[in-house]
C-alpha cells in the first residue's frame, strides 16, 4: 500500500490546527474564567509545555522509526498485549473527536444556525470531513497549506483593526491576584498541548526527524496566543470573563464608519475551516488506528463507519454545553496528560528495555 506523504510545510501548517482549531473558541473563555488581566502571560507558559510534548513525540519517533503510535505499542508490548494501550489511545481519540464535533455544533447553532438541530449541523459538518480523510492525508495537508497563511494574516489584521478600542489600563494591576489564576488557566492550555500527540499516528506520512518542525509549531501557536490574549484583555476588559466567545465579541466591535463592519461573518467562516482541519486530522488518526488495531489492509473501510460513530458520540457523550465546558476546564487535562505520557513513554521504555535484554 502506497503511503501518502506530507511535506514539512504541510505538516507544520496542518498540525497547528490541532491546537488552534477549537482553541480559538474554547481557550479564551476557559482562561478568562481564571484570569483576564493576566491572561497574556498564559501563552508564555505554553512554551515549556509544548517543548515537553515535542520531546515525547521526538523520543517515540526515534524509538519506533516510521511507525505510528498504534504500531509502536504493538511492537513494544507484542501483538496481543499491545492492543490494550493502543485501544485506550483509540478511545481517547474518539472522545476528543466527539468533543471537537460537539464544539463546532454548539458554535454554529449559537451564532448562525439557531433553528437547526445540532445533530443535523454535526452530520453536515462531518460529511466533508470524512470525504477529505477518504481522499488521503495529502488532500487535507494541501488545504492546510493554503488556508493557514490566510488565517494567520486575517488574525493579525483583525487584531490591528480592534486596537482603536484598546484600553491598556485593563492590564493593571499586573499580578494583583498572584500566579495561581494564571497557572490554573495554563492547565487548559496544557490539555490542548497534548492534542499534538496525534501527529504520532501519521507514521511514515511525515519526515522521520520532526524536532525542528515541532519547535516551529510551538512558536507559531505561542505567537498566536500573544496576539489574541492581549487583544481580548485590552478591548473587552473584565467583561471577557462573561463572554462565551471572546474573540467573536472583539471582532464584532470593529467598525470603520459605514465602510467596514460585520467582520464576524468572516471570523465564523475562518473558525469553521480551522476546526475542519483539526477534525480531519483527528479523524485520520482514529481510522488509521482502527485499521492497524483490527488488521485491515487499508484505513478507508473505517472512514465512514468511524464518522457515524463520532457523530453519535458527539450527541450522546456530551449532554449539554455545561458538561462540555466542565470537561474542558477541569477534567480533560487529566485524561489527555495520562494518555500522552503513559502510552508513548511506556511503549518507549518497554521497547528499549527489551532491546537491551536481547543484547
Query: Mind listing the domains of the chain with CATH numbers?
Result: 8-346 (1.20.1740.10)
Q: Which residues pair with 260 in a beta bridge?
A: 256
- For the beta carbon of residue 243, count every other beta carbon within 10 angstroms: 16
Phi and psi of 81, rounded to 5°? -65, -30
- Cα–Cα distances (Å) from 209 to 5, 68, 202, 308, in that order, read 14, 14, 13, 35
C-alpha span between 95 and 318 (Å, rounded): 10
C-alpha span between 13 and 4 (Å, rounded): 17
Tell me the Cα Rg of the chain.
20
Locus of grid cell 487548559: 188
Locus of grid cell 470573563: 241
List of residues 6+ apart from 183 with CB closer than 8 A = 45
- Cβ proximity of 307 and 129 under 8 Å: yes
- Cβ proximity of 344 and 69 under 8 Å: yes
- Cβ proximity of 162 and 235 under 8 Å: yes
C-alpha span between 198 and 48 (Å, rounded): 19
C-alpha span between 246 and 33 (Å, rounded): 12
DSSP code, position 6: -
Degrees to nearest 5, angle at CA 35 with 29 and 39: 80
Residue of 346, 31, 296, 337 lying closest to 184 (CA atoms): 31
359 residues of the chain, pLDDT tens digit each:
446 678 888 888 888 898 888 888 888 888 888 888 888 888 898 899 889 988 888 888 888 888 888 988 888 888 888 888 889 999 999 999 999 999 998 889 888 888 888 889 999 999 999 999 998 888 888 888 888 888 888 888 888 888 888 888 887 887 878 888 888 888 888 888 888 888 888 877 777 677 788 888 889 989 888 888 888 888 888 888 888 888 888 888 877 766 777 777 888 888 899 999 999 999 999 999 999 888 887 888 889 999 999 999 888 888 777 788 888 888 888 888 888 888 888 888 888 888 777 76
- Cβ proximity of 20 and 218 under 8 Å: no
Provide the b/e sequence for 207-218 (b: ≥16 CB within 10 Å).
Answer: eeebeebbebbb
Provide the phi-psi class of 237: left if phi over 0, else alpha when psi is between -120 and 50, else beta: left
> Mapping DSSP to helix (H, G, I), strand (E, B) and coil, where does residue 16 land?
coil
What's the pTM value of the predicted model, to 2 decimals? 0.90
DSSP code, position 327: I
Amino acid at each position: 500500500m502506497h503511503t501518502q506523504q506530507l511535506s514539512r510545510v504541510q505538516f507544520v501548517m496542518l498540525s497547528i490546527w490541532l491546537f488552534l482549531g477549537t482553541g480559538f473558541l474554547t481557550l479564551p473563555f476557559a482562561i478568562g474564567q481564571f484570569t483576564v488581566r493576566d491572561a497574556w502571560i498564559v501563552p508564555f507558559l505554553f512554551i515549556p509545555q509544548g517543548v515537553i510534548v515535542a520531546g515525547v513525540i521526538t523520543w517515540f519517533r526515534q524509538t519506533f522509526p516510521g511507525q505510528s503510535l498504534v504500531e509502536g505499542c504493538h511492537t513494544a508490548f507484542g501483538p496481543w498485549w499491545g492492543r490494550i494501550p493502543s485501544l485506550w489511545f483509540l478511545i481517547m481519540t474518539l472522545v476528543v473527536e466527539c468533543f471537537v464535533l460537539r464544539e463546532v455544533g454548539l458554535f454554529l447553532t449559537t451564532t448562525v444556525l439557531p433553528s437547526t438541530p445540532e445533530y443535523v449541523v454535526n452530520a453536515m459538518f462531518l460529511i466533508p470531513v470524512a470525504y477529505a480523510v477518504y481522499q488521503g492525508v495529502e488532500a487535507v495537508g494541501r488545504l492546510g497549506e493554503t488556508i493557514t497563511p490566510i488565517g494567520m494574516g486575517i488574525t493579525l489584521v483583525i487584531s490591528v483593526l480592534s486596537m482603536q478600542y484598546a484600553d491598556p489600563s485593563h492590564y493593571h494591576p499586573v499580578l494583583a491576584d498572584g500566579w495561581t489564576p494564571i497557572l490554573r488557566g495554563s492547565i487548559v492550555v496544557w490539555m490542548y498541548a497534548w492534542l499534538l500527540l496525534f501527529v504520532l499516528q501519521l507514521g511514515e506520512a511525515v519526515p522521520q526527524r520532526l524536532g525542528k518542525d515541532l519547535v516551529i509549531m510551538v512558536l507559531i501557536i505561542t505567537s498566536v496566543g500573544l496576539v489574541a490574549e492581549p487583544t481580548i484583555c485590552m478591548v473587552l476588559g473584565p467583561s471577557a470573563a462573561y463572554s462565551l466567545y471572546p474573540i467573536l465579541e472583539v471582532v464584532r466591535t470593529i467598525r470603520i464608519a459605514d465602510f467596514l463592519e460585520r467582520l464576524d461573518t468572516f471570523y465564523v467562516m475562518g473558525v469553521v475551516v480551522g476546526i475542519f482541519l483539526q477534525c480531519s486530522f483527528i479523524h485520520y488518526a482514529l481510522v488509521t488506528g482502527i485499521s492497524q488495531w483490527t488488521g485491515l489492509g487499508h484505513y478507508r473501510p473505517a472512514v465512514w463507519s468511524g464518522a457515524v460513530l463520532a457523530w453519535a458520540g458527539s450527541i450522546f457523550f456530551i449532554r449539554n454545553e455545561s458538561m462540555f465546558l466542565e470537561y474542558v476546564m477541569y477534567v480533560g487535562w487529566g485524561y489527555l496528560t495520562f494518555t500522552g505520557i503513559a502510552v508513548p513513554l511506556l511503549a518507549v521504555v518497554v521497547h528499549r528495555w527489551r532491546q537491551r535484554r536481547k543484547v
